[in-house]
Chains A and B, each alone.
Chain A
Amino acid sequence: MIDFVKDVRLWFAPQRLRDEGDTPDYRFSLANERTFLAWIRTALALVGGGFAVDQFLPDLRWGVRVGMALALLAVGAACALRAVNHWVRCERAMRRGEDLPLSRFPVVLSLGVGLVAVAMVVVVLLGWTTGR
């Protein structure tokens, strides 16, 4: 928890990040930046998916539809916040010459997305729609 607060402080203090260790080859920093951007795109895709569930599945029951959309949106927001945190931690690890940080987030995210997909299949198979 304390480590996390330190990380959050680093988000806002670029000079403190620069104080530590040596500047890595800028190509590594750029690679780290691209990874960060890939995570942001994932987050944006999840947010877009939340909108899409609400707009393009009008036959779903209100509760199922809104619950699904909110789940996707929440995961999208978490993904974006995690992206900047992971970027800061990687940047710091490269400056200090430490190992890159490990993360459980990719596993959690893939399980979450898989769960939403399975839930979708179940909803359609059981016909939990308002029906027409």
Chain B
Amino acid sequence: MSGPGAASRDAGLQPERTRLAWRRTTLACSVAAVLAVRQALHGSGSPLRVAGTAVIALIWLAFLGVAHVRMRQLATARPPALAPRVALGAVLCTVALALFAMTVIF
């Protein structure tokens, strides 16, 4: 990166690669969420099923939201570094999904 003229594209296409990595991660999250919904629908009683599905939907939407924020930042010519808050958001969604799974499986 030398001077403002080089700001248009980075030869290594690093922001694009990182954006695609976020996209892959949302896809992985979607697969896990689908399996989680399948698990929740196994439970007995419709209130439990509705509640479980709602929790998963919230976790999934939160993850998509975090990824969307970051992917929009990466679409700019000089993307800022990943904020710890964004990283923590993605991690908390993953942990929440695991904790939800532990309660449902029992």
Contact = CB atoms under 8 A, between A and B. Distances in A.
A, B from the same assembly: yes
Interface of A: 10-14, 17, 23, 25-27, 29-34, 36-38, 40-41, 43-45, 47-48, 50-52, 54-55, 66, 69-70, 73-74, 76-77, 80-81, 83-84, 87-88, 91
A19 to B, nearest CB: 13
B63 to A, nearest CB: 9
A126 to B, nearest CB: 23
A81 to B, nearest CB: 6
B48 to A, nearest CB: 16
Given A33-B82, A43-B94, A51-B36, A12 B101 contact: no
Contacts of B72: none
A14 B85 contact: yes
16 contacts: A10-B84, A26-B14, A33-B21, A41-B24, A41-B25, A44-B97, A52-B35, A54-B39, A55-B38, A69-B105, A73-B98, A77-B95, A80-B94, A80-B98, A83-B91, A84-B84
A87 B83 CA distance: 11
B29 interface: yes
A48 B34 CA distance: 9
Contacts, number: 126
Interface of chain B: mostly helix, strand, loop or mixed: helix
Given A26-B81, A30-B79, A88-B84, A50 B17 contact: no
Interface in B1-41: 1, 10, 12, 14-15, 17-18, 21-22, 24-25, 28-29, 31-32, 35-36, 38-39
Nearest to A69: B105
Interface residues of B, number: 40
Interface of B: 1, 10, 12, 14-15, 17-18, 21-22, 24-25, 28-29, 31-32, 35-36, 38-39, 42, 78-79, 81-85, 87-88, 90-91, 94-95, 97-99, 101-102, 105-106
